Amino acid sequence: MSIKLPKVIGHRGAKAYAPENTVESIETAASLGVEWVELDVKLTKDNIPIIFHDEELDRTTNGTGLIAQTNYEDLRDLDAGSWFGDSFVAARIPTLEEAVDIILKHDLGFNLEIKPCPGREKETAEVALDYLSRIWDDPSKLLISSFQHVSLEAAMDLVPDWARGLLIGGSEMPENWKDLADYLDVKTINLGSRLVTRQIADEVMDLELPLLVYTVNDPLEAKRLQLLGVDAFFSDCPDVILENLAGGLH
């Protein structure tokens, strides 16, 4: 089954307008008319899949310490919104289940990035995807991505029919990226925007895979990348990119 990718995917919900990776951020993205959202999943110490980006709690909550060393009970009541703005004081770190409930409520597509704590690459994929496999029934609106090849391997074993996306960041493409894409049988290549040259875009097109690029918040950059053949953009302000890519694009 092929996936129905939109032109713009809300990055961590709609990160420019609401605290990232929260229910509020997903709701905001939906209210902007975004069709898909991208969220990060990690495991707590007691193996609860939560929507969170960092290894540590400090940047986006009033808690402190490592996610991998914190039980869910100890982080579920943390304030995950005040750092962003006073009106988000009630925001919490959602479980994967809570996030998916909101995604399904709004009939959104979902890019789940498996963002494991070090050493938990396989486990994080297994726990998150085991849960998701019980409630997600439209594979055309789901993409499982990761920078971690072990996580994508686990996805390949567990839910072979779900589309996988190979995430690549940094300042240069790894030499073996095509071999990895082939081995992991990915359906998309997801690149950091500074990696995208005409040559790389052409090489991805030669593989006949969609090219997704993160994180693009400047409409001019989006237009430039679009001319190179980029298929979809991850954006913190997805409405701005959508608006500026309008005209035969959506």
Active-site positions read 11, 53
Question: What is the distance between the alpha carbons of residues 131 and 158, in angstroms, rounded to a whole number?
Answer: 11
Q: Is 230 exposed, middle or buried (0-12, 13-18, 19+ CB in 10 A)?
A: buried
Q: DSSP string covering 85-134, please?
A: -GGGTT--PPBHHHHHHHHHHTT-EEEEEE-PPTT-HHHHHHHHHHHHHH
3-state SS, 22-76, equals CHHHHHHHHHCCCCEEEEEEEECCCCCEEECCCCECCCCCCCCCEHHHCCHHHHC
Residue from 153, 228, 158 nearest 197 by CA: 228
Residue 215 token pair = 């994180």
Residue from 200, 208, 209 nearest 174 by CA: 200
Q: Which amino acid is at 41?
A: V
Q: To 10 degrees, what angle do helices 121-135 and 149-158 make?
A: 40
